[in-house]
Amino acid sequence: MDLMERLVAHQRESARLTWRGSFAEYLAIVRERPQVAQLSHARINAMIQAAGIRETREGREYPFFDGQLFGLAPQIRHIMEYFEAAARRLDVRKRVLLLIGPPGTGKSTFLVLLKRGLEAYTRTDEGAVYGIVGCPMHEEPLHLIPQALREEFRRELGVVIEGELCPVCQWRWRESGENVEAFEVERIVFSERDRVGIGTFTPGDPKDLDTALLTGSLDFSKIAEYGSESDPRAFRFDGEFNVANRGLMEEQEWLKQPKDFMALLLTLAQEQNIKTGRFALIYADEAIIAHSNLHEYEKFIANPENEAMKNRVYVVTVPYTLRIADEEKIYRKMLEDGSLGHTHLAPDTLSVAAWLTVLTRLSEPKDKAHLTLLDKAKLYNGEAIQDFKDHQLDELRREDPREGMVGLSPRDAMNILVHAMGKTGVPCVNPLDYLQAAKSFAESGRLLSIHGPEAQKRFLELIHLVRGEYDKTVQKVVMKAFVHAFDESAQTLFVAYMDHAEADIAKTRLPDPITGELRDPDVEFLRTIEEQMGVSAGAAKSFREELLIKAGAAARKGQPFRWNDHPLLAEGIERKLFSDVRALVRTTTSTKTPDEQQRVKIAAVTRQLEEEGYCPHCAGALLQYAGSLLNRK
């Protein structure tokens, strides 16, 4: 389908959504599809769940947010607990859902997803919404049913009928002689741009704020025509509360707003009513989500005058992610929304950025003798640390509740990356460029999260830690490039180790691979790998037994047991392979005048690196850096 055909198809779809009919026709639609009359919280809950639910060991996950929010699965579960309960009309629906966290944690992105999702969902048959024609609040047509008949209609149709007509529709109802046939019904599609079903309020200068922005205002040109300020036809019901009816109301920086604004929102949440000028309370059905930063929230909580307000909010804390892999996904998503142009990012650049950013959010572990800050970051990232159990990880997370509420934001990381791109002078940014840019950015005072001598000192220490981890990565990457078919070589070494370990434990002999002659297991070979892991001779027997038990358990489940399934053994195998080629790598990468054989080897290794995402420039820089590292040892 070409672009014009796609545009025409979209126009046809929009035309299909244009429906207008009688109230009787609408009742027939409700009888067939009761979900068209569901309340706002139920509609949002249905929209999210329509994308599916995944059951995981950690809890439920919601594909609706896939590829958009990373590292916020626990927070999304908490939010969905609110919506699922509110959809059942439990009392929690009368709360303002308040998202609290530092800037850049995804609060605004979450709201954007809900708003864009509602716009799309109301264009589907499952999410269809209908309103009274001419109503400024696009209200539910079932409000036309008198109170005396609602219970009968509720039982017959299987729907909830809640609320009263707005002032404009009440006037029309009286003028029509309470004739329901005088009202038409139309299908409506939510649109933030068109101010239908989605309202957003951002506070500006307090001097210019007027509650009319939320509740509507008088139309002075109509007062002379209709003769009274209390005539609904002389009032614009176009405040954000009005337009958000049936859908979603977003309150940005809510805790910075004047108290009369906050009180209006709480009344809307608690009573489902809007107080406007000379009119009686106006019913409104909308899910209210506010967000603000931690500093404002702490001031709000500390103020005893806010006691009544505290009881009307449902708080979900949204911290920065503490998982390095998720932080890196955030950067990739941010980069997808723009263009790097001709700048190439070397592999591991974003990983190094994520390491540095996440470390600024972590507090030092209390048990420093057994756990370093790097160990803590690895545990949070899902990596295994020898002898560290799952329950200890939960205890570690509880040590400092403020973890993730301070530190660098993803925006800071992108600022540093832009600085690195401007400084390199070459069409490529590698991890070292990024770390140097981070140091420069902080020292120049441009990194506002890092201010003061103590903060700068700690930040420089974290850069040093990340540099050390990157050095290990460099050696592994280069060594693997030099070792032909690394994975195959590692698996071969692993199989040999397991065979000799099993024979040693069982006190049996192994056939020689060439002669077939039975020989004793090569204990010296076993020790060359175990020493790489730091396993002592005294602990070797129990380590081998542990491995054999795990291999047996995997075999009984029909699962393969490979060289990298045991983190400690994988490290030993890597180090063993690397030690065998270390001299070759050192000589090849550090010589200033390589001979023909070395040039051939460098060319082959460079090709291997390019297959893994390196450009010729960053591959050469990597080999040069690896040579300098190996020559230090």
Neighbour-count burial for 5-16, b at 16+ CB within 10 Å, e otherwise:
eeeeeeeeeeee
Cα-trace Rg, the chain? 32
Residue entry with tokens 């441009």 = 446
Q: What is the mean pLDDT of residues 474-482?
A: 84
E strands, 142-203, in order: 184-188, 198-201
Is 332 in the same domain as 293?
no
Among 282, 317, 352, the domain boundary falls at 317
**Lowest-confidence segment of 11-20, 66-75, 193-202, 591-600 by average pLDDT:** 591-600
Q: What is the mean pLDDT of residues 468-478?
A: 90
Selected residue with higher pLDDT from 137 and 257:
137
* Residue 440 DSSP SS3: helix
> Residue 253 above 60 pLDDT?
yes
Question: Looking at the domain assignment, is residue 611 inside a domain?
Answer: no
Is 289 in the same domain as 377?
no
Q: What's residue 584's pLDDT?
A: 67
Residues 47, 117 contacting (CB under 8 angstroms): yes
Rounded distance, CA 234 to CA 217, Å? 9
Residue 33's pLDDT band, with cuts at 50, 70 and 90, is very high
- Quote helix, strand, coil % in the chain, to nearest 5: 60, 10, 35
Question: Looking at the domain assignment, is residue 474 inside a domain?
Answer: no
Q: What's residue 571's pLDDT?
A: 85
Q: What is the mean pLDDT of residues 314-318?
A: 95
Rounded distance, CA 341 to CA 90, Å? 52
> Residue 321 above 80 pLDDT?
yes
Angle, CA of 519, 521 and 524, to the nearest 5° = 125
Q: What's residue 384's pLDDT?
A: 79
Question: Looking at the domain assignment, is residue 618 inside a domain?
Answer: no
Residues of the domain holding 265 = 3-317
Is 99 in the same domain as 212?
yes
Question: Looking at the domain assignment, is residue 607 inside a domain?
Answer: no
Rounded distance, CA 201 to CA 254, Å? 9
Residues 51, 63 contacting (CB under 8 angstroms): yes
Q: What is the mean pLDDT of residues 463-482?
A: 89
Q: How confident is the model over 255-291, as pLDDT tens digits?
A: 888 888 888 888 899 999 998 877 888 999 999 999 9
Question: Looking at the domain assignment, is residue 631 inside a domain?
Answer: no
Rank 300-304, 377-381, 490-494 by mean pLDDT and report only the highest: 377-381
Q: What's residue 592's pLDDT?
A: 67
Q: What's residue 624's pLDDT?
A: 82
Domain count across the chain: 3
The encoded tokens of residue 565 equal: 């399934």
Rounded distance, CA 442 to CA 451, Å? 8
Is 462 in the same domain as 491?
no
Residue 32's pLDDT band, with cuts at 50, 70 and 90, is very high
CATH number at residue 144: 3.40.50.300
Selected residue with higher pLDDT from 392 and 553:
553
Is 297 in the same domain as 352?
no
Is 429 in the same domain as 559?
no
Q: What is the mean pLDDT of the chain?
A: 89
Q: How confident is the model over 407-435, as pLDDT tens digits?
A: 999 999 999 999 898 876 678 899 999 99
Residue 208's pLDDT band, with cuts at 50, 70 and 90, is low
Q: Mind giving me the DSSP string for 212-237?
A: HHHH-EE-HHHHHHHS-TT-GGGEE-
Is 311 in the same domain as 397?
no
Q: What's residue 9's pLDDT?
A: 76
Among 271, 302, 317, the domain boundary falls at 317
Question: Looking at the domain assignment, is residue 114 inside a domain?
Answer: yes
Among 467, 501, 533, the domain boundary falls at 467
Q: How confident is the model over 36-66, as pLDDT tens digits?
A: 999 999 999 999 999 999 998 889 999 999 9
Closest CA to 107 of 69, 78, 145: 69
Closest CA to 380 of 321, 332, 466, 333: 321
Question: Looking at the domain assignment, is residue 50 inside a domain?
Answer: yes
Residue entry with tokens 């036309």 = 144
Is 333 in the same domain as 301?
no
> Residue 303 above 80 pLDDT?
yes
Rounded distance, CA 237 to CA 243, Å? 8
Q: What's residue 231's pLDDT?
A: 87
Q: What's residue 369's pLDDT?
A: 65
Q: What is the mean pLDDT of residues 534-542?
A: 91
Q: What's residue 633's pLDDT?
A: 55
Q: Give the count of beta carbons closer than 10 Å to the beta carbon of residue 539.
A: 12
> Residue 621 above 80 pLDDT?
yes
> Residue 632 above 70 pLDDT?
no
Q: How confident is the model over 559-588, as pLDDT tens digits?
A: 989 988 888 888 888 888 777 777 667 767
Under 8 Å CB-to-CB from 288, ≥6 apart: which residues? 96, 97, 249, 251, 265, 268, 269
Q: What's residue 294's pLDDT?
A: 86
Residue 485's pLDDT band, with cuts at 50, 70 and 90, is low
Is 310 in the same domain as 328?
no
Question: Looking at the domain assignment, is residue 215 inside a domain?
Answer: yes
Q: What's residue 590's pLDDT?
A: 65
Is 309 in the same domain as 398?
no
Is 293 in the same domain as 334?
no
Q: What is the mean pLDDT of residues 113-118?
A: 97
Is 168 in the same domain as 283?
yes
Amino acid at 613: G
